[in-house]
């Protein structure tokens, strides 16, 4: 990345961190994706029970590979033999010590915005796991909730195609939301986390001044 663009990204993130802290989130800036991985793993004690939200960012940063090590008790949503077993893994996640995930958007006004298929990721960000760690590249930063929902909708076709859901947006060449009403629809739940006041610093947001994920 161009050094000047990275500088601009860092300034934007610094401003956002102040806003997030005012809303009782914990927030920190990583230097790059490798630093983000170090920050996240330093936060998680060995032996912790960890759940994850579906995330390209966790793969790109190498965080998912770290979580899969023998140091942790990983609730492996990816290693299941049936849909019902996968749902059971999702349910286990509510009792995890940590949920590690990304977000569809984080606003400059201090909200997390997400759209989900089953709702396990959105609901566990809100309540359940003792601690939530969100990793987000600068591309996830938007002005406000309206822009966050717009962004989440815009990348929904990519996520649908990634997880092989045969939705109209993932099957045609337009790559646009059609407000479908089909069973594999990925836009069933919209979540806005407006602050962390009731459980201060339960949610830590690690912001990275480079592009990560969709």
Q: How large is the average pLDDT for residues 46-52?
A: 98
The closest alpha carbon to 2, from 141, 207, 210, belongs to 210
Q: How large is the average pLDDT for residues 156-185?
A: 84
Out of 20-34, 113-127, 157-171, least confident range? 157-171
Say yes or no to pLDDT of 199 above 80: yes
Say yes or no to pLDDT of 174 above 80: no
Say yes or no to pLDDT of 163 above 90: no
pLDDT digits (tens, 9 = 90+) for 107-162: 999 999 999 999 999 999 999 999 999 999 999 999 999 999 999 999 888 888 88
Confidence of residue 71 (pLDDT cuts 50, 70, 90): very high
The closest alpha carbon to 203, from 117, 111, 95, belongs to 111
Residue found by looking up tokens 């959105």 in the block: 122
Angle, alpha carbons 165-124-41 (nearest 5°): 95
Q: Does CATH number 3.40.50 belong to domain 3-110+118-141+192-208? A: yes
């Amino acid at each position: 990345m161009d050094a000047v663009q990275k500088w601009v990204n860092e300034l934007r993130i610094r401003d956002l961190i102040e806003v997030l802290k005012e809303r009782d989130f914990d927030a920190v800036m990583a230097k790059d994706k490798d630093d983000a991985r170090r920050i996240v793993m330093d936060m998680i004690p060995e032996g912790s029970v960890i759940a994850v939200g579906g995330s390209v960012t966790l793969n790109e940063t190498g965080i998912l590979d770290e979580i899969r090590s023998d140091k942790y008790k990983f609730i492996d949503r990816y290693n299941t033999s049936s849909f019902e077993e996968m749902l059971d893994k999702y349910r286990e996640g509510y009792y995890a010590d940590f949920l590690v995930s990304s977000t569809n958007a984080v606003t400059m006004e201090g909200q997390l915005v997400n759209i989900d298929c089953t709702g396990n990721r959105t609901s566990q960000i809100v309540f359940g796991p003792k601690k939530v760690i969100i990793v987000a590249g600068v591309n996830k930063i938007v002005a406000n909730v309206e822009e966050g929902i717009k962004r989440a909708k815009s990348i929904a076709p990519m996520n649908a195609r990634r997880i092989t859901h045969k939705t109209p947006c993932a099957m045609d060449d337009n790559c646009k939301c059609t407000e479908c009403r089909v069973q594999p629809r990925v836009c069933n739940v919209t979540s806005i986390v407006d602050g962390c006041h009731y459980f201060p610093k339960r949610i830590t947001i690690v912001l990275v001044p480079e592009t990560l994920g969709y």
